Structure 1
Amino acid sequence: MKKTFALSVMAFFAFATLSHAQDDAAELAKKLANPIASLVSVPFQNNTDYGIGDMQGMRNTMNFQPVLPISLNKDWNVITRIVAPYVTQYNVTGVGEKQSGLSDAVMSAFFSPKNSEKLTWGVGPAFLLPIATNDLLATKKFGMGPTAVALRQANGWTLGALVNQLWSVAGNADRPDVSQMFLQPFLVYNWKSGAGLGANMEVTQNWKASTTTVWLNPTLSAVTALGEQKTQFVVGPRFNLAAPEGGKADWGWRAVVIFLFPK
């Protein structure tokens, strides 16, 4: 009897611990599906694309994308995000040619209300930072413009979109001016385990060159712990639906590791 009781108590605590872990993973996954959640995270997003253009080039882009939320007062947060790409490409600008280095970065700040009932939203400025270390990967322009995000979360689903528009305001006069829009609609479903299935589209419209680039990125994701470190892993294929003439890729893949620092 005592043995049965002891086993029952152990089973109860094991179940309670597992349930708490699942609830914790589910909450983290929900926050990660929200680009302006109040969660410190450090994502490393790697995109590898093959068969680019007539020369069948290859490009690897590692995006360093830290997110830092700042509490302004009891009603408002500002969510700061930066995307700093490191690019390595072969046979893109010419047969046998290689470029490697930092490309220009984009920094955004979303002012978002802490208490939103049905629709979560944020608006603010975005900046194009000319930090590129290779001329062929650079605009050599400083730019700025507005950015916004809006989303709805319910019953495990997250549906929303992020957009920014950048105009160059300073920089090298010999380089073309920048007028570029980026639009990213996204849809994610997360299970209570923290696993997720989703997709986003990345649409870049270059108004100056009248060109459009579109990527479709289906993803599988999971939240886990590496020791004490909460982590999300994301993986999936990439499909280049549209690109400027001579720049379309045959296919690609995405792999992401996100280190999480919940409060």
Structure 2
Amino acid sequence: MSVTNGKFVWYELMTSDAAAATAFYRDTIGWETRDSGMPGVSYTLLAAGGRDVGGLMTLPEHVVAAGGRPGWIGYVAVPDVDRTAARAKELGGTVHRAPTDIPGVGRFAVIADPHGAVLCPMTPAGEPRSPLQPMGGPGSAVWRELLAGELDGAFGFYSGLFGWTKAEAMDMGPMGTYQLFAVDGETWGAMMTKPPAVPGPFWQYYFAVDAIDAAAGRVTAGGGQILNGPMEVPGGMYVVQCSDPQGAPFALVGPRG
């Protein structure tokens, strides 16, 4: 089994204005940006400390026509994406895009869990570009959070699909349980039943910054919105949950001061 199995290896923004989004995230998070050079595709790579973290591109017209809106999507490494897509259907999920090859990059599919949250399982060609550590320095994706349609059902789906296991569970009072999940014994993120005010289930990704208040200021200065925070989380760090100028939700985590 691949050492990357079940781990997030890429983060991709599908947006309505790629040029504006590139400028916003470059200024807000400090990512280095460059064109991927893929023939016939306009795809911008996002890097931190010289290492690629993710990419962004304009929403395809057929996705917009189907009601798609700007948002981030995570890629999870699997040994055999065709088998994973078939297993997702067996577990009650939906395959929105059948397994497809990206020359020189890998083979991926677009799936949704039984409640509608979307992910991309992927069998990378060679070593994935993204760091495989669950935490990292500024610009890295350091937390992955599912606001699920229903926690127990969602956890069963992802456990059956990727082999994720339960880590610590936090009692959030009226908000329910915040269930952390682990990959090969390392905690990579968490799930909880979404609050009623959240329109639909989705994955939210947290990117590291040097100083949370300064970064929050850059979000609003760049035309984004702060939806929640800054609020303290375990470990003495602070998070803000945001939306970018095109409406895609994302989050930042970093120290205060």
TM-score > 0.5 by shorter chain: no
TM-score, with normalisation over the residues of structure 2? 0.30
Greater share of strand: 1
Greater share of helix: 2
TM-score, with normalisation over the residues of structure 1? 0.29
